[in-house]
């Protein structure tokens, strides 16, 4: 394979991401986990499926970082997942420590890599990764918006009984309870959503989207969502490796856009070989701006308490 992607954390999201990348032959994948045998075992198990599925990418796994050297992209999923009743923010202190260690090791071996952060609380972990790596914002950003938007798209498609392929939607803001679904920018094969659904139905979809993560946690009891999150990471990885210039909502360090400075906020961004190549500015109504401000405040509060 021409490309190499490292996935740190061989848990639910990490391993499923590795599997998706390899099965599509996007890159060779190196999985790293403190549970070294877990990473090694999952890698071997996945490779034993290769003759059946017929993919030629190589997946390896272990506890060391030497095999990650020269990675095009490093996806960080290492950390603790939410348990029922636990907020994403409760994870802050523990996952800050983990992120710090992981990013230091990654950057040591792949100084030119692009970091995609997945660990929660997402926006704060992006800031930890940025501080520790010293990378420009083009090479350190987070996955959340693609997942939140996919959930919204699914809920819209189900409500209207139309193909998911026809539905586009955007969710802005932090990856938390204050995320901002933007139904005004949602379309069904080009038709604006507000023309197809009542305001009450749209608000119900917004609510379900905001609680999409918790809905899955309540089913699983242990651990959180991973099929849709890993698909979301795959979308970002493919956009970068294939230089698609795809516009995807990501957690990006804003530098003046949307009126915010030096803060990670979920906004539409263009992803290509250079990583996060451009922040796309949408015009927002007064209410949408207020919702985004609330979300940004929540991220700011977390970032201020970071100890890195």
User: Which of 171, 197 has the CB closer to ligand TXD?
Assistant: 171
CB of 135 to ligand TXD, least distance (A): 18
Strand partners, 167: 188
φ, ψ of residue 55 to 5 degrees: the values are -105, 150
74/66 Cα distance (integer angstroms): 13
Q: Which residue has the tokens 């710090």?
A: 100
CB of 168 to ligand TXD, least distance (A): 19
Q: Which residue has the tokens 């230089």?
A: 243
210/204 Cα distance (integer angstroms): 10
User: Which of 61, 275 has the CB closer to ligand TXD?
Assistant: 61
The 10 Å CB-count burial string (b at 16+, else e) for 98-134 is bbbebbebbbebbeebbbbbbbbbbbbbbbbbbbbbe
User: Which of 11, 268 has the CB closer to ligand TXD?
Assistant: 11
- The residues binding ligand TXD (CB under 6 A) are 8-14, 32-35, 38, 77-82, 91, 95, 98, 101-102, 118-120, 122, 143-144, 147, 175, 223-226, 229
- β-pairing verdict for 275-279 and 261-272: antiparallel
175 is catalytic: yes
CB of 94 to ligand TXD, least distance (A): 9
CB of 14 to ligand TXD, least distance (A): 5
Contact 265, 252 (CB under 8 A): yes
Contact 77, 143 (CB under 8 A): no
Report CA Rg, the chain: 19
Among residues 3, 109, 175, 242, the one annotated as catalytic is 175
CB of 105 to ligand TXD, least distance (A): 8
User: Which of 78, 292 has the CB closer to ligand TXD?
Assistant: 78
**Cα distances (angstroms) measured from residue 38 to each of 29, 92, 141:** 15, 24, 27
CB of 173 to ligand TXD, least distance (A): 13
Of the candidates 135, 115, 5, which has an alpha carbon nearest to the alpha carbon of residue 69? 5
Looking at beta carbons, which residue is closest to ligand TXD? 11
User: Which of 77, 133 has the CB closer to ligand TXD?
Assistant: 77
Contact 39, 61 (CB under 8 A): yes
User: Which of 36, 157 has the CB closer to ligand TXD?
Assistant: 36
Residues with a known catalytic role: 175
């Amino acid at each position: 394979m021409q490309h190499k992607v490292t996935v740190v954390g061989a848990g639910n999201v990490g391993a499923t991401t590795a599997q998706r990348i390899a099965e599509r032959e996007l890159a060779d994948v190196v999985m790293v986990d403190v549970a070294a045998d877990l990473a090694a075992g999952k890698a071997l198990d996945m490779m034993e499926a290769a003759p059946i599925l017929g993919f030629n990418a190589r997946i390896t796994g272990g506890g060391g970082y030497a095999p990650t050297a020269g990675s095009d992209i490093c996806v960080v999923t290492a950390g603790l997942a939410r348990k029922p009743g636990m907020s994403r923010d409760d994870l802050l202190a523990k996952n800050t420590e983990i992120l710090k260690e992981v990013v230091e090791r990654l950057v040591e071996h792949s100084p030119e890599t692009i970091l995609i952060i997945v660990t929660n609380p997402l926006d704060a972990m992006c800031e930890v990764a940025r501080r520790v790596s010293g990378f420009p914002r083009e090479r350190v950003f987070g996955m959340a918006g693609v997942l939140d938007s996919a959930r919204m798209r699914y809920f819209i498609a189900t409500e209207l009984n139309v193909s998911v392929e026809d539905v586009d939607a955007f969710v802005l803001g932090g990856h938390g309870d204050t995320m901002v679904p933007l139904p005004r920018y949602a379309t069904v094969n080009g038709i604006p959503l507000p023309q197809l659904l009542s305001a009450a139905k749209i608000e119900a979809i917004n609510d379900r989207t905001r609680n999409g993560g918790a809905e899955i946690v309540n089913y699983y009891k242990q651990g959180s969502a991973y099929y849709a999150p890993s698909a979301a990471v795959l979308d970002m990885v493919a956009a970068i490796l294939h230089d698609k210039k795809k516009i995807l909502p990501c957690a990006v360090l804003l530098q003046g856009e949307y009126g915010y400075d030096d803060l990670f906020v979920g906004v539409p961004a263009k992803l290509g070989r250079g990583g996060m190549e451009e922040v796309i500015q949408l015009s927002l109504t007064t209410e949408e701006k207020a919702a985004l401000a609330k979300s940004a405040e929540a991220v700011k509060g977390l970032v201020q308490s970071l100890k890195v």
